[in-house]
Structure 1
Amino acid sequence: MTQEGQEATSAVEVLALLHQLSLTACRSRTRQSLIFQILNDSVQLAGYDRATLWSLKNGKPKLLGISGQAEANQGTGIAETWNSLVNDMKAPDTPQTVTKDSFATKEKLWLEFQASPASPNVHWFPIFSNKELVLGFWLERWGGVAWQDEEINILNFLMQAYGVAWEKFMPKYTWKSFGQKQALLIAAACFAALFLVHIPLRIVAPCEIVPKDPLMISAPLDGIVEEMLVKPGQYVKKDELLFSYDKRVPTQELKVAQKQVQIIQSELNRAVTLAFKDNRPLSEVATLRIKLQKEEIRLELAEFQVSRLEAKAPLEGIVMLDNPEAWRGRPVRIGERVMVLSDPNKSKVRIWIPESDNVVINREKPLKIFLNVSPEFSYQAELSYIADYSTVSDAGIPSFVSEAEWLDGENQVKMGLKGTVILYGQEVTLFYWIVRRPWAAVRSLFGF
């Protein structure tokens, strides 16, 4: 084969290798795999002893990798030397064989680096993507081996392919991609939207599921609770025992009343018998009859009290009660609230609207309720009542108590569950929606 034929064959091989490296780079699936290929596969096209790859984003060089190493250790002495040199380059956007004239202030550091035993001969290749300088490729040949123009030209073509491959790992849109006019138009559109776009006020308030039309069970007598026979959340039927009183005092009072009636009755019978023989006991008979009536009334009261020593459920429902153990041995007054019976199929939502959020509510728009036990589900309800005055909630926040009825019939939601409710107010501008709370906080702080 002639010399011309050999040169042609060599050129074809170089082009084929250049094409293969370019195609492999463009097929890289991850940013890290592309960095590895740039550092370790480029040597097939032009030999070198060591290579480093630098990110030049925003003009701040950052070491991405070193050939032959899995990770780039930024803390080594050689890495710090590289970093100082690359940061000090006058024209990092220009391909160049690196000399002391390539640096602004680090000529001495470069001469020390070049005087090392490896005697590196360095060439710098910038890599552009979409006309933006994104990477820098630092190639070293040791032992004073020079770079040939043919090798540099071939590597420059390969750098273009690397720039195209790097493009898919760059952000699609940046602020720099917008011109000044486009940015001004976007800013003007956003400013106009603040006053032209109207959205409903959204208020988030705590809520609790409470019984609808509950029946309050109060103490039927003055006395001491002996035992609570039901537990919170228990379902009871009509006439089922709820709690009982201490029976010792009432039963003793009943026995005393019965004995007193017997005594008065005996005295009355004796006086009536004597009245047939003597007229003087007639006045005593009238007095004893009055005393008997009085003691009989006391007896009826004692019997009534004994009959009420066991409280029964007037209807079926769910027991809502505080700690049952706390009621044992507790004195109660007649009419004092003991527990509540509620129909499990009838409930409503009690809401505490913070005083600072008591805006005009749009009653036509349904409320959305999210319970803490299942925040992924929402329920709809309709506002039915808002108090005219505020009270302090359990959380210590001045709030307006309000209530809502279920929209989709009686929901099978467990009593006592808590969550949050979203209420909707009137439509306001986006600007007012954003500044309402900060504005109120500033006015409250400075008093104007």
Structure 2
Amino acid sequence: MTDIIHAWLELEHRILKAKRPVEAEFAAINLAHTLVPYRQAVLWDQSVVALSGAASVEANAPYVLWLDKVLRQLHRDHPTLVEAADLPADLAGHWPDWLPAHGLVLSCGSAILLFARDEPFAEGEVALLERLADLVGVTRTALSPRKITFAMPKGRRAWALAAIGIAALFFPVTGSVLAPAESVPAHPVMVRAPLDGVVDKVLVRPNDPVKDGQALFALDATTLSGRLDVARQTLATAEAEYRQAAQAMVFDAKAKAQVAILAGKAEEKAAEVRLLESQLARIEAKAPKPGIAVFDDAADWIGRPVVVGEKVMAVADESDTEIEAWVSVADVGEVRVQGVLTFFLNTDPLSPVKAQVRSVAYEASARPDSTIAHRVRATIAGNAKPRLGLKGTARIDGDSVPLVWWMFRRPLATIRQFIGF
């Protein structure tokens, strides 16, 4: 007897400490075995909610479908001892396949509990399980979310509230859109490849400070050096031929006619040498102004072929920044030039940066994250400009619109796409 009292107190404590209905349900069908031995237990509330020994209930399982029909048939407000003979023939035939011979049905608030085992239930066991069912029912009711009901006002008060609600729908609000944004250079100077070639080495790292005239990257000079050596040899040969003809024209009239031609060839070769020397002198790209080097990764450029004029990096003033935002195609209609943009930094969201929209791209372009969006540039107001490269979220304010339009613009657009008018 002492063991039963101790088991009841332990189980009662666990049910009363439950924070969710599922915790009380688990204790009712799995831990009640410490009070009364049984083989199977089921909790039903308009459908099978929980099964003993099962983590979840598969609604379309044959066992669950049969149990649902049985418990709908056995729903009682008082304890009921049941056997297969108490059911209609179509349900009783499957009882031996799914349940032991003897069952006990108990009311549990809005639900019912079914315990089943091979031996009949004694009167004391029925009373103990009935008290357990009452406790679980009260606990489930207390832990279930309550429905909030509202009293509908009548008469003049109802008409007044309706008028206020309709008027509120036409209250003007500022339309706005959110977009990912970052701080970018306002006046960057592009550093481009001076020649066709292959990038041999990058002499700075991303975001390194650079000085005016500092070398930033160099192209591979192997091909140019080889061509220059050949051009110099060709020039030496052309100059030798010219000098020989110039000396011979004193005694040979035919040589005199060749002097002008050989002089032109020598000058042509000299011009080619000067061209290659000037190209070799420009094999290194240098910083056009002081600032920081803006590019992604040096390893992406080393060994990469480039053509003349191709952008490799940029040099920008770290404090001379503006805001670049990417607005989705669905929201770009809300964005206007000269509109107000508020930039919320990820690093300091409580100190937003104010800016004014300077330009909106008319055509959407693909972004690295595989989305399509319109580029928006905004000039920062004031001198407190965020550091280059900081990211965040931009809120771009548009025109004033009625509240009802602001609420239903997107749903209406979606509906219109489907119905076609």
Q: TM-score, normalised by structure 1?
A: 0.59
- Please give the residue correspondences for 1:93-242 in structure 2 after superposition, counting only pairs within 5 Å: 180-181=153-154, 184=158, 187-188=161-162, 191-242=165-216
Letter in 1 for 2:198: I
Letter in 2 for 1:194: A
The structure 1 residue matched to 2:290, chosen from 313, 316, 319, is 316
Quote the residue 1:298 is aligned against.
272
Q: How far off its partner does 1:365 sit?
A: 5.8
Quote the residue 2:323 is aligned against.
349
- Equivalents in 1 of 2:417, 2:288: separation in Å? 52
Q: Give yes or no for contact 1:213–1:342 (8 Å, CA) kept in 2.
A: yes
Quote the residue 1:413 is aligned against.
387
Q: How far off its partner does 1:398 sit?
A: 3.9
Letter in 2 for 1:241: A
Q: Give yes or no for contact 2:319–2:388 (8 Å, CA) kept in 1.
A: no
Identify if the C-alpha distance between structure 1 residues 290 and 434 changes in structure 2 by more than 3 Å, giving closer, same or farther: same
Residue 244, structure 1, aligned to residue 218, structure 2: yes
Bigger-Rg structure (1/2): 1
- Equivalents in 1 of 2:183, 2:371: separation in Å? 19
Quote the residue 1:278 is aligned against.
252
Q: Give yes or no for contact 2:337–2:360 (8 Å, CA) kept in 1.
A: no
- RMSD, aligned CA: 3.9
Residue 359, structure 1, aligned to residue 319, structure 2: no
Residue 438, structure 1, aligned to residue 415, structure 2: no
Q: TM-score, normalised by structure 2?
A: 0.63
Quote the residue 1:331 is aligned against.
305
Letter in 2 for 1:443: R
Number of aligned residue pairs: 308
Residue 424, structure 1, aligned to residue 394, structure 2: no
Q: How far off its partner does 1:410 sit?
A: 5.5
Q: How far off its partner does 1:405 sit?
A: 0.3
- Deviations 1:149-201, CA, capped at 9 Å, x for gaps: xxxxxxxxxxxxxxxxxxxxxxxxx756x674498368525522433422111
- Quote the sequence identity (%): 28
Quote the residue 1:383 is aligned against.
357
The structure 1 residue matched to 2:235, chosen from 261, 283, 293, is 261
Identify if the C-alpha distance between structure 1 residues 228 and 364 changes in structure 2 by more than 3 Å, giving closer, same or farther: closer
- Equivalents in 2 of 1:426, 1:198: separation in Å? 10
- Deviations 1:247-271, CA, capped at 9 Å, x for gaps: 2221222222222222222222122
Q: How far off its partner does 1:363 sit?
A: 5.8
- Equivalents in 2 of 1:298, 1:213: separation in Å? 37
- Equivalents in 2 of 1:435, 1:287: separation in Å? 84
Q: How far off its partner does 1:308 sit?
A: 1.2
